[in-house]
Structure 1
Amino acid sequence: MSAMRGLLFKVLFYPGSAAFVLLAPLFALAGRETLTRHIYRWVRFHDWCARVLLGVRWRIEGEVPRGPALIAMKHEAMYETLEALLFLDRPAPVFKRELMDIPLWGRACRRYGGIVVEREAGAKSLRAMLAEAKELIAEGRPILIFPEGTRVPHGQRPPLKSGMSGLYRMLGLPLVPIACDSGRLLPKHGPKRPGIVTFRIGEMIPPGLPREEVEARVHAAINALND
């Protein structure tokens, strides 16, 4: 049954997603609001496929942050990269430079709004990144980052990348950690299982704390569901 569910999901979601992605640059030409509505249609399509075909739903534990904040979320599956848009307020994600280099799609990502990071960013790149972030914050949007840098299997606790603490220091925003256990049901390799994914929202961390303290608190909070 799990194998059949997974096959149905692949047959419907991925071809459908290809259509959404190919159309995104066209919607981007009409402006950010039009593109955002198109992206949310894609997100709701993913949510429907996950619920109906995979039997996967989500729940929230804790208070959802509103307004500008730096959101640091555990990353175990593609699931949360889309579903987070359904409960956060138009989050602006931190994108890798490689994604921005994809023809047409990169332009659409920029139009939606996000922060581009580079592995070896110089002073000029850092200033551009900070300017992009301040524009998004002025719109009242939270900044979403996956501080481990990539998806990790459920139960693993890799160290955090330095980018999170750098943004925390530069932006002067409160930081909200969010744990997620999507990898328990949706591993990268192996059959998917029905069930409920939990997003556990941790205690808000005020701005201005030392790097070591912030990283320790975030690392513990985003891994809370691994216990």
Structure 2
Amino acid sequence: MFKLERKKNRVIKLYVLNVCSEERVKNLQAVSDLVRGLFNQSANQFDIGGPYRISKGKTVGEKSFWNKLNKFGHDKYSYVTGERVNEFGFELSYIAPEDCSEIIVWYDPALYSINVIDILKSLIIDLDIRYGYAVDLRKNYDIRLETRIRKGVFSTSVTVDAENIEWNKNVPKIKDGIIRRVYPLNILNPSQYHSFPSVSIKSIHEKIKDLVIIESKEFA
């Protein structure tokens, strides 16, 4: 279904609405289990955005990651990440209002051959996914922001541009048909599907529950 390109990450983003505090544990466990099943190993570098005693710019191992969550709870973080550098990783973040969740799974397609639809099928068992997409990003692009990582002499930086700010505001509106933009692979709820530009449809894949999967173009 997809053509591979060197030096890129394949990025899948999925969105869940109306996440109550009790569901945070289940959601993270579902994503963690998915990653372990897909890649036959766990991430080995983790971070938690919040008061979890991880120094800025540092990461912890898997055991410490879960110990911190068990000790301090799941209701204080804005995001969690796990990765094996340059191989694969995940991020689960909460967008204001904080009952909106963004799930990111990424991997190097030169190392792993994975069907994006299989990822969706696995997660939709436990999560009420309302929108998603898949795209290839060059390795010098930030996976979350989808903008270029700029390297200085001693540090790197990324820009939170106006498009990212606007999209975060619009995430709760996906139930009303809004999408971020047309991506190579688009996972649409019924409202989004009915307003999706027909000129952008290359092929329509099988429905999963009420979600329609549309390919607008092959990955270059």
TM-score between both structures, scaled by the size of structure 1: 0.29
Report the TM-score, using the length of structure 2 for normalisation. Answer: 0.30
Question: Which structure shows the higher strand fraction?
Answer: 2
Q: Which has the higher contact order (CA 8 A, sep 6+)?
A: 1
Identify the structure with the greater helix proportion: 1
